[in-house]
Amino acid sequence: MRSSARSFWTPCLAYLDSSAHNTAAILRPMIREDPSMPEDKLEPIYDQVVRTIAEVTGLPAGELNGQTALITDIGLDSLAIFEIVINLEETYGIRISDEEIDQVKTISQIVDYIAQHLPAHSGKQD
């Protein structure tokens, strides 16, 4: 019984270990992609969102992924969320209303929101 458990966990642990180094491969299935937004435009948005959250929280970027929930997983308070939102609004030239902030729960939802609200899907970044 012990060997069957080991044979199950070994690939799982290898996957988890490699996932921290292969963000793009993990990101693709986690983001609900806008068909008009090319995938190569989503990855830089994801990277910027993760960088911003890591800077605000002090967490290593490698601990964050598309399914990371802002409040339940990393415990962001309203001040931290406000700081992240302001940074992303300035970076992408978009406006995120308070109501929309309340609807966005995970990193992938933030990426999806930004991708859908970029001015004419221009991919504008400062």
pLDDT 10s digits, 11-39 = 444 444 444 444 444 444 444 444 556 66
Render 68-113 in DSSP notation, one character per residue. Answer: -BTTTTT---HHHHHHHHHHHHHHHT----HHHHHH--BHHHHHHH
Instruction: Please count the other Cβ atoms lying within 10 Å of the Cβ belonging to residue 99.
Output: 7
In the three-class reduction of DSSP (H, G, I as helix; E, B as strand; rest coil), residue 67 is classed as coil
Q: Note the CATH architecture for domain 2-121.
A: Orthogonal Bundle (1.10)
pLDDT tens-digit map of 91-112 = 999 999 999 999 999 999 999 9
Rounded CA-CA distance 69/119 in Å is 26
Residue 37 has a pLDDT of 60
Per domain, the residue ranges of the chain are 2-121
Specify the pTM: 0.67
